[in-house]
Amino acid sequence: MAREHSPRRKALLTVAAWTAGLLIFFPILWTILTSFKTEAQAIADPPLFLNFDWTLENYAAVQERSDYMRFLWNSIVISGASTLLGVLIAVPAAWSMAFVPSKRTKDILLWMLSTKMLPAVGVLYPIYLIFIELGLLDTRAGLTVVIMLINLPIIVWMLYTYFREIPVDILEAARMDGADLRAEILYVLAPMALPGIASTVLLNVILAWNEAFWTLNLTAANAAPLTAFIASYSSPEGLFYAKLSAASTMAIAPILILGWFSQKQLVRGLTFGAVK
């Protein structure tokens, strides 16, 4: 039986949730507000919150200096392609771990997760040399593969968790009806795990979109995504906070909009199988 909370407790929980949400969102809000200030107002002391002269000159200057659409297109291609490739590899891998009994499954999953603990800088040099030899440096294809490999353990772990919640009897019934492995995955497993797959896709698009270390070290101009677009406004002459904020706002706006419209699906997928 679910516990009933008193009105006072509900109010306290609501206030605590809103407070935590505002604290997390405040840096983003401040960045957006700063993007509409002049450079002098951006460094004013005390800081100006809303009482400043709103201007769009920073966005005009950013667009004039940089080709925003090219950076945006690179981010879309790299994040979308790396996620799609990762899901295509992770679905059969997670299926085999979830439905083919093995004493080594947990060890394999733990080993995959342990690769996320490796400092990225520790493998930068060999990967950089491999990219030079293969001609993948500053290419979207090279970044797609690297980011896919970085996020693959997370994709496999999430899909494995969702697949484990699906009764194996349903898959056995499909096999008895003559379904081969391809049909079992495409027409039985995938539709039942669709909320989990969707949340996995959304989360990994966000992770790929925000990846900065590899994009800054393996690109120069041609394949540079929005993370490099933001970094280009940190110059030896100093930081131009208003223009940097405008560039940051333009970089995070697409993923914020995606997260806003897909939040229900993301929450539903992340809680998939948690309550029976």
134 in a structural domain: yes
Q: Is pLDDT at 81 greater than 90 in this prediction?
A: yes
Nearest to 273 by CA among 156, 177, 195: 195
187 in a structural domain: yes
Q: Average pLDDT in the 198-212 region?
A: 90
CA distance 122 to 115: 12
Q: Is pLDDT at 260 greater than 70 in this prediction?
A: yes
What is the pLDDT, as a whole number, of residue 90? 92
How much helix, strand and coil, in percent to the nearest 5, is found in the chain? 75, 0, 25
102 in a structural domain: yes
140 in a structural domain: yes
Q: Comparing 7 with 93, which gets the higher pLDDT?
A: 93
Q: Which domain holds residue 227?
A: 66-232
Q: Is pLDDT at 206 greater than 50 in this prediction?
A: yes
Which value, in Å, is the radius of gyration of the alpha carbons in the chain? 23
Q: Comparing 276 with 29, which gets the higher pLDDT?
A: 29
Q: Average pLDDT in the 49-58 region?
A: 88
Helix (H), strand (E) counts: the chain: 15, 2
Count up the domains in the chain and report the number. 1
CA distance 3 to 15: 20
CA distance 229 to 223: 11
Whole-angstrom CA distances from 94 to 27, 213, 232, 255, 270 are: 37, 28, 39, 27, 16
Mean pLDDT, the chain, integer: 86
Q: Which two tokens stand for residue 128?
A: 């950089």
Q: Is pLDDT at 144 greater than 90 in this prediction?
A: yes
- Burial of residue 205 (CB within 10 Å: 0-12, 13-18, 19+) is buried
226 in a structural domain: yes
Q: For position 218, which CATH number holds?
A: 1.10.3720.10
32 in a structural domain: no
**What is the pTM (predicted TM-score) of this model?**
0.85
202 in a structural domain: yes
CB 156 within 8 A of CB 112: yes
Confidence of residue 146 (pLDDT cuts 50, 70, 90): very high
118 in a structural domain: yes
What confidence tens digit (pLDDT) does each residue in 160-174 have? 988 888 888 888 888
Any idea which of 48-57, 121-130, 232-241 has the lowest mean pLDDT? 232-241
Q: Average pLDDT in the 101-119 region?
A: 84
